[in-house]
Amino acid sequence: MKISVNGDFDKMLMDLIKERRSVRLFNGRKIPREDILSIIEAATWAPTGCNNQELWFLILDKEQEISEIVKFKPFFKGISTVILIFCDMSLPMSRKMYYKYKYERHLPYIDTGLALANMVLYAKSKGIDSCIFNLSEYHFVQAKQRSLIKRITNKIKRTLNLHKFMEGNFEFYLRNRLKIPKHLKIMCGVAFGFSKIYPDVNTAIHGGKKIMRETVDYYIIHRE
Ligand SMILES: Cc1cc2nc3c(=O)[nH]c(=O)nc-3n(C[C@H](O)[C@H](O)[C@H](O)COP(=O)(O)O)c2cc1C
């Protein structure tokens, strides 16, 4: 089936793009498994650099898994499902490109971004809300409580890839409790659910800045 370029499709797509918001308070309603699978299917149709198709998706929706995630991301109360995205670093093309070359090293991050965009927009088209989240240590509840000495020793452990000794760390949770093998590199996560509060684009602020975008001209680099 070809999508007609006539009609209102372009306008509807633009409205969908503009109306999607990152939601941080959800109402606890569960998303049916088939909807989650179709969201992941949308991700698999995103382009990937060199057609590497290196991304893998982990669905977390059991009560205990969700409560573990909320420990790391306390503001995601009431979410239904988390999808974590991993890059398979063991594929021949991954090994060739991602370890060696300065620019190609970034490709999995770009691929992840494209997959995420497909996911959150497709989800929104089904009335499902989402929030992409990064997994920086800054967000680990436990990380905030660590002493300087512990932080230094943890840094050494991280550098030496000894996550299995770092309880309370998201990498520890993934590798040990969820048994995620080392060749799968964690890229990003997305929380899905149904909003309890939907951010108002006209007033909401995040990161010290209004989430409302400027008009398009503002973002264009004009040359003299
Ligand atoms: C790569 C990435 C990481 C993000 N990480 C977080 C996060 O950890 N926590 C959070 O609340 N929002 C996170 N966000 C959502 C942004 O804060 C949000 O997209 C931004 O404020 C604009 O709002 P909007 O998505 O409603 O347009 C992330 C978004 C992206 C693209």
Q: Is 211 in the pocket of ligand 1 (CB under 6 A)?
A: yes
Distance between Cα 21 and ligand 1 center (Å): 9
**Where is pLDDT greater, at 148 or 35?**
35
Distance between Cα 22 and ligand 1 center (Å): 6
188, 120 in Cβ contact below 8 A? no
pLDDT at 71: 79
- Mind listing the pLDDT tens digit for each residue in 17-27? 999 999 999 99
pLDDT at 6: 67
Which tokens sit at 107? 């490709």
Closest-CA residue, ligand 1 atom 9, reads 133
> What percentage of the chain reaches a pLDDT higher than 90?
63
Closest to 130 (Cα-Cα) out of 109, 110, 115: 115
**What's the whole-number average pLDDT of the chain?**
88
The most confident of the ranges 43-47, 72-76, 168-172 is 43-47
pLDDT at 35: 98
Our mutation pick for probing the ligand 1 site, out of 106, 132, 170, 209, counting the most ligand atoms within 8 A of Cβ, is: 132
> What percentage of the chain reaches a pLDDT higher than 70?
87
pLDDT at 175: 82
Q: Is 133 in the pocket of ligand 1 (CB under 6 A)?
A: yes
**Where is pLDDT greater, at 141 or 174?**
174
- Mind listing the pLDDT tens digit for each residue in 79-130? 999 999 999 999 999 988 888 778 888 999 999 999 999 999 999 999 999 9
Query: Where are the alpha helices (H) located in 53-133, listed in sequence order?
Result: 63-72, 92-97, 107-125
pLDDT at 143: 46
pLDDT at 110: 95
Residue 67 has pLDDT above 70, yes or no: yes
Q: Is 115 in the pocket of ligand 1 (CB under 6 A)?
A: no
pLDDT at 200: 98
**Where is pLDDT greater, at 221 or 172?**
221
Q: Is 30 in the pocket of ligand 1 (CB under 6 A)?
A: no
Span 17-38, average pLDDT: 97
Q: Is 206 in the pocket of ligand 1 (CB under 6 A)?
A: yes
Q: Is 114 in the pocket of ligand 1 (CB under 6 A)?
A: no
- The residues near 120 (Cβ < 8 Å, ≥ 6 apart) are 20, 130, 132, 190
Q: Is 213 in the pocket of ligand 1 (CB under 6 A)?
A: no
Closest-CA residue, ligand 1 atom 6, reads 133
Q: Is 21 in the pocket of ligand 1 (CB under 6 A)?
A: yes
Name the residue type at position 93. Answer: M
Closest-CA residue, ligand 1 atom 19, reads 22
* pLDDT band per the 50, 70, 90 thresholds, residue 141: very low
